[in-house]
Amino acid sequence: MSWLLRRLYRWKLRAYPRAFRARYGDEMETVFEENWRDLVHAGGGTRLGRARRAVLLTVKEILEVPGSVRRARRTAREEVRQKRPFGGGAAPGSGPRGGHGGVAVDAWLADLRHAVRLLVRSPRYALAVVLTLGAGFGANTTVFSLVDGLLLAPLPYPEAGRIVRLEETRPNMWSTLSPGQLTLSSFTRWRAATRMLGQMAIYAGRSVTLTGVDEPVRLAGAMVSPALFPLLGAEPLYGRTFSEAEEREGSGDVVILSEGTWKRLFAGDTNVLGTTAILDEQPHVVIGVMPSSFDFPRPDVDFWVPFTLAAPTTGGPARSTFDLWIEAVARLGPGVSIEQAEAEANALMREAYGTGDARERTVHLVPLGSRAAERVRPALLMLAGAVGFVLVIACANVAGLALARSAARSRDTAIRAALGAGRRRIVRPILLESTLLALMAAPVGLLLAAWSLRWLRAFGAELTPHLNRVSLDLRVLAVTAAVSLGVGLLSGLAPAAGSARLDIERCLRGGGPSLGRWRASSGAALRRPLAVVAVALAIVLLAGAGLLMNSFVRLVRLDYGYDPDHLLTLQLHLPDSTYREDAERLRLLDGLVEAARRLPEVIEASAASALPSFDATTHVSVTVDGSPRDTGDPVELRIVDPAYFPTVGLRRLAGRLPDPGMPADGDPVVVLNESAARLLVGREDPVGARVSFLRYRRAEVIGLVADTARAGTGTDAEPEAYVLYSQMPSSMARSLLRTPRLILRTVGNPLALTGNLRDLVARADPNIAVSGLLSLRSRLDSTIAAPRMYALIVTAFAGFATLLATLGVYAIVAHAVVRRTHELGVRRALGAGRRSLLTTVLAEGLRLAAVGLLVGLPGAWVLSGFLRGLLYGVKPGDPATFGAVGLLCAAVMLAASWLPARRALRVDPVEALRAE
């Protein structure tokens, strides 16, 4: 708040002469701050009273600018003149020129005073305009800040434009499972041979259990190449970053902590440098602390350890079948373009791996940050479009208000014209007035934007990880100022043009401009198209909001293929030293599941390698016996215990499900979901088919279960194979058994059991770290936070737009009733029925609504195509949504016309005629 005020005040100071500013600027700022604090904050009284004082003080500080600037200038000029009394012709010579300028400036000031006086006399009008425009500016500034911070602003690294991501594609399906990544083998070869790239670094997520503190804690960090820190220009807060030598395997375990972790777990003690932290039971020497501003690769990263590589193999083409997909970044060498570096790399790849067959590798260089920006771009552009519409509607409304006002003032204007005021003197106060109002609306908008950004930062963390980069900055301020000036002039143009063309004689002779022929009056002719534009744009926004809401509701009510409510989930992290063998891990897991099952309120409990609807991250190649194809298909492997199916509530479609009594050494069995069955067997019922995993582990398909929907994005189900823990080959089970998940189905609120469950695990083994103790429903909800946010924002915009459009229509109809009082009275006197009068007035508003609908609905239909990527389960041109929007809009417009129409019915013919 205070920084915003200060910034605004400095902006005001710029209006004053430089010397004046240098002499008094700081002082003035202090006085203003003290005054503000005493008056607004320390003043006591109600919140409303404080707000009133704040507004009054702001208005005073704005309105005094022209006068005090003029005075400061005059004093400064005289001071200069006094300092050189014999300064030759300069002083007298400046007289006439200054005088001439003075007249022009005085005329401007007089007009400004006139404009201010007019506004002060109609505070309700001023308030309506300032609030309307302020809300429009606020929404625009918010969205522009988002676009600026997330799409336009460079990343916070030196020469960030020279940093690229390295990506690889291969003509096999594994590559599509790792979009935007690179294989480790390509990286090492590339790095050894490149001349075009500077530093190159790889990184991957890594989470560990930190022990030796109160209780075991899970930390989420990253393994990174030592080159990453210099590549990104990052300096540690304390200590050092990794040395090149620390990349080699076995070169000593070191760790760098994030500032947050250091403060949270090590009490911000600098003595921690050089001490040992136990990560996954391995001692790591703490060598540095990174400042919180360094948030690569994720904002919530807790620590960094070196990405260790085996000693480099030299010579001969790499033939390893097992390769790691990782993230990689690099800095372009001096003067090297992305295309050059890419050409070099692809030549290297062809040389090393050959061409033509399935081994072909293609690499791409992509500017860092473009991937992240790509994900939010459609949503941000949609918001920018929506908010632009809101601003246009706000302007149309304000212009409509200004037109009505200038029509009401036409007699006044005519008198001024008759007294000899030139066209310029007539038009200028009107333009000045609207500009003034727009300028007053700008701070209101900035305040609104500051508040909504704070709100977004609090609630929109899931929207995008980089919201902390978004702030109101000087550029945003400049854009708001420019927009407000433009809007001021625009909204003033229509009434100004109308006033300049005013028929003086008729205005002075009649009571107002063309009584009885109101439609011909300058105001009304323009106000109707403005209202139609507002209605049409509001319909576009309503349609967009309707589609997004519809889509969001579908996501909320998504049929996941099982029952996601009343499920409590958590992940266990078993230390290797205690649990060396799979058998020991299985024994612990069985014991925990059995104990959990006996907890009160627990219906069923099970263990699994992954949660339903969430990525299992384990894909294996599966082949079907007797299939003519020799390459396998990637299928997501889910390791479960037999209780998994009843716990989760997965629907069985065919065959049978494994039962607890199934012997561990019996024939291996597998359960497929529909997608896997379609992919592998190509028919509905795969029961009885025999498949092999990774070519050697054979199993019989005993059952078919329903597909489970993926969380959040509404993407299609993946092919999945369920295999029992007890039957897994130990090489694969080991890694999955280290971090199993427990899933509990409860009677009531699952979160009520978290304490019990923690105790249960701690009693079994206090060295086991527990993470992700959440209900499955809350996990699913957090994945649809972004669609919810978009739907809410656009709905808020649409609601505001509809309100404005309705007010516009209401104003026009109400105005028409007032103007036609005489006519209505005559018709009443001549025996016109209520129905006929009602229809006449209603038609006034409904015609506007009809034209608005005719323009708006097709427009919305066309524009809704842009929403395609943001919708789930709804087509952009969804007829139900459009029908509802049309009906809603018609109903609202009818209501807006109904209120003034009822007033028309109460017109007393005698009164109306007497007024003539």
Cβ at position 12, least distance to other proteins in Å? 7
Shortest Å distance, C-beta 24 to other proteins: 4
| Binding window for other proteins (CB under 8 A); candidates: 19-27, 173-181, 648-656, 751-759 | 19-27
Q: Minimum Å distance from CB 772 to other proteins? A: 52
CB of 96 to other proteins, least distance (A): 23
Q: Is residue 56 a contact partner of residue 123, using CB atoms and an 8 Å limit?
A: no
821 CA to centre of own chain:
50
How many whole angstroms separate alpha carbon 523 and alpha carbon 510? Answer: 17
Q: Cis bond leading into 297, ω under 30°? A: yes
Q: Using CB under 8 A, which of the segments 28-36, 360-368, 708-716, 729-737 binds other proteins?
A: 28-36
Nearer to other proteins, 60 or 914 (CB): 60
Tokens matching residue 104: 């022009």
Compare residues 80 and 128 and give the one whose CB is closer to other proteins: 80
The one among 5, 16, 632, 852 contacting other proteins by CB under 8 A:
16
Selected range binding other proteins among 29-37, 167-175, 261-269, 390-398, rule: CB under 8 A: 29-37
> How far is Cα of residue 754 from the mean position of the Cα atoms in its chain?
32
- Give the single-character DSSP code of 849: H
Closest separation in Å from C-beta 444 to other proteins: 19
Interface stretch with other proteins, choices 75-83, 675-683, 726-734, 843-851 (CB under 8 A): 75-83
Q: Are 700 and 690 in contact (CB under 8 A)?
A: yes
Per-residue contact track with other proteins, 323 to 352, x per CB under 8 A?
Answer: ------------------------------
Shortest approach of other proteins to residue 307 CB, angstroms? 52
Alpha-carbon distance of 9 to 30, in angstroms, equals: 10
Interaction residues for other proteins, span 480-539 (CB under 8 A) = none
Smallest gap from Cβ 45 to other proteins, in A, equals 16
Residues ≥6 apart with Cβ < 8 Å to 54:
36, 39, 40
- In the chain, the amino acid numbered 897 is S
| 218, 235, 243, 248, 537 from 308: Cα distances, Å | 21, 21, 12, 5, 57
H or E element at residue 775: strand 769-775
- Angle, helix 370-408 to helix 522-556, in steps of 10 degrees: 150
Name residue 742's beta-bridge partners. Answer: 570, 607
Smaller CB distance to other proteins: residue 32 or 353?
32
Q: How is residue 248 annotated by DSSP?
A: B
* Residue 415 makes contact with other proteins by CB under 8 A: no
Q: Residue 249 corresponds to which tokens in the numbers above?
A: 């395997």
Q: Give the Cα separation of 134 and 120 in Å (integer).
A: 18
Would you call 832 exposed, middle or buried from its count of C-beta atoms within 10 A (0-12, 13-18, 19+)? Answer: middle
Burial class from Cβ neighbours inside 10 Å (0-12, 13-18, 19+) for residue 383 reads: buried
Find the binder of other proteins among 8, 20, 272, 608 (CB under 8 A).
20
Tokens encoding 529: 């198209």
**In the complex, least distance from residue 26 CB atom to other proteins, rounded to whole angstroms:** 4
Residue nearer to other proteins on the CB measure, 19 or 245: 19
Task: Give whichever of 61 and 633 is closer to other proteins, judged by the CB atom.
Answer: 61
Provide, rounded to whole angstroms, the least separation between the CB of residue 61 and other proteins.
5
By beta-carbon proximity to other proteins, the closer residue of 34 and 351 is: 34
Q: Which of 27, 214, 357, 630 is in the footprint of other proteins by CB under 8 A?
A: 27
- Cβ-based nearer residue to other proteins, 300 or 412: 412
Taking CB under 8 A as the criterion, which residues in 78-117 touch other proteins? Answer: 78-79, 82
32 or 125: whose CB is closer to other proteins?
Answer: 32
**Closest approach of other proteins to the CB of residue 269, in Å:** 35
Residue 520 structure tokens: 């011909």
Stretch binding other proteins (CB under 8 A), from 17-25, 536-544, 746-754, 873-881: 17-25
In contact, 877 and 861? CB cutoff 8 Å: yes
Are 471 and 149 in contact by the 8 Å Cβ rule? The answer is: yes
CB of 82 to other proteins, least distance (A): 8
Binding segment toward other proteins, per CB under 8 A, in 20-28, 328-336, 706-714, 767-775: 20-28
User: What one-character-per-residue DSSP string does 382-402 give?
Assistant: HHHHHHHHHHHHHHHHHHHHH
Using CB under 8 A, which residues numbered 43 to 72 contact other proteins? 60-61, 63-65, 67-69, 71-72
Binding part of the chain for other proteins, among 25-33, 160-168, 545-553, 735-743 by CB under 8 A, reads: 25-33
Least CB distance from residue 92 to other proteins, whole Å? 20
Phi, psi (rounded to 5 degrees) for 258: -80, 155
Q: Which of 2, 18, 45, 75 binds other proteins (CB under 8 A)?
A: 75
Q: How many residues does the chain have?
A: 916
- Measured CA to CA, the distance from residue 893 to residue 770 in angstroms comes to 57
Binding site for other proteins (CB under 8 A): 12, 16, 20, 23-24, 26-32, 34-35, 60-61, 63-65, 67-69, 71-72, 75-76, 78-79, 82
